[in-house]
Amino acid sequence: MKKKLYNVAIAGATGVVGKEFLKILEERNFPVGEIRLLASERSAGARLEFKGKEEPVRLLDEETFEGIDIGLFSPGASVSAKYAPKAGKAGCIVVDNTSQFRMDPDVPLVVPEVNPEAIAGYKKKNIIANPNCSTIQMVVALKPIHDKYRIKRIVVSTYQSVSGAGKEAMEELSEQVRNLFNMRSPEVKVLPHQIAFNCLPQIDSFLENGYTKEEMKMVNETRKIFGDDTVRVTATTVRVPVFVSHSESVNIETEKPITPQEVKKLLSKAPGVTVVDDPKEGLYPMPIDAAGLDDVFVGRIRKDESIENGINMWIVSDNLRKGAALNAVQIAEVLIKDYI
């Protein structure tokens, strides 16, 4: 007989994704028994509201996962590396939002609308990896196309909000705007350069091949999620002065002939996707409209006239919700429905 309530721990509870976990668990009426909020020594002792009650934030340590069924992790990769395996050994199934386990062959990398069957692989380590935020929204939109027409190549350029770099980056953008409007020099502490009124073609550090880690995440994670190493992917990831929601310009080349009308029809029926595509009326996805919403929004769907079977599209989604917390909670929902 299945349990009716599940004990849930949130590691990194005081961060922007941790707080989003709390909000989404409550919004979706996830069957939470005990909620255990965990954070570093700096944040331990704080209190966060959940279902109208203030819950204490405890210190994340090796003893905090006893009796926990599901752990939602977003504490940073090095912290996940240390504590996720310990939580797994304690019987807690971890859904990890960091990059630590995404390419581990023994850890499933899951987007529920795309490859929910992969969740079954959690039993090897009791860990499931949440993909990178920019990867999630792209594969949600592209998987229905890949299934029917088979995508050969993906070229993606991202326009990623500062919330993807955490609350400190959001505060830095706010402070820089204030300073500039008051004729003061903006301080740069979190991001590599001034982000206010600027675009930074660098997210994470550069690798020997000239790509950033963020760009190679999109390449490698897309192939793993699709279960298809033959898909060619190239990415340029850019930080833009937007607080919430990532945008992506995506170009695909398919094996089979494809038209924009077929793409619109296919995506209008796809789970987790909303098509917003009426250029004559000025309707297309924008970050300010996607913020706070669950779906991936797709528009500007048009033929790429430079190649035989090419399509261009514009994809926007709230990176804190579908790109992080919501995707993890959806994984947890599949876990309690089909596995535990």
Q: Average pLDDT, stretch 271-286?
A: 97
Cβ(90)–Cβ(10) below 8 Å = no
What tokens appear for 39 in the block? 């954070």
Give backbone dihedrals phi and psi of 180, rounded to 5 degrees, phi first: -65, -40
Report the C-alpha gap between 98 and 247 in whole angstroms.
20
Name 201's Cβ contacts closer than 8 Å, sequence gap at least 6. 236, 237, 238
| Each residue's pLDDT tens digit, 281-321 | 999 999 999 999 999 999 999 999 999 999 999 999 999 99
| Each residue's pLDDT tens digit, 91-141 | 999 999 999 999 999 999 999 999 999 999 999 999 999 999 999 999 999
- pLDDT (0 to 100) of residue 247: 98
How far apart are the two ends of the chain, measured CA to CA in Å?
Answer: 10
Report the C-alpha gap between 237 and 218 in whole angstroms.
9
Give backbone dihedrals phi and psi of 45, rounded to 5 degrees, phi first: 100, -15
Q: Average pLDDT, stretch 269-279?
A: 97
Domain 6-130+324-338: which CATH number of 3.40.710.10, 1.10.1740.10, 3.30.230.70, 3.40.50.720: 3.40.50.720
- The answer on pLDDT for 2 being more than 70 is no
Single pTM value for the model: 0.96
- pLDDT (0 to 100) of residue 95: 98
Cβ(246)–Cβ(314) below 8 Å = no
- pLDDT (0 to 100) of residue 1: 46
Catalytic residue among 133, 146, 193, 199: 133
| Each residue's pLDDT tens digit, 133-174 | 999 999 999 999 999 999 999 999 999 999 999 999 999 999
146 is a catalytic site residue: no
What tokens appear for 26 in the block? 């409550």
193 is a catalytic site residue: no
Helix (H) or strand (E) holding 293: none
**Burial class for 208, CB neighbours closer than 10 Å (0-12, 13-18, 19+):** exposed
- Closest to 218 in 3D by CA, of 239, 198, 197, 232: 232
- The domain ranges of the chain are 6-130+324-338, 134-319
- pLDDT (0 to 100) of residue 132: 97
How much of the chain exceeds pLDDT 90, in percent?
97
SS3 assignment, position 6: strand
**Burial class for 246, CB neighbours closer than 10 Å (0-12, 13-18, 19+):** buried
- The answer on pLDDT for 10 being more than 80 is yes
Catalytic residue among 92, 146, 193, 246: 246
AA letter at 242: V
How much of the chain exceeds pLDDT 70, in percent?
99
Does CATH place domain 134-319 in 3.30.360.10?
Answer: yes
Which of the 8 DSSP states describes residue 184? Answer: -
Report the C-alpha gap between 252 and 166 in whole angstroms.
30
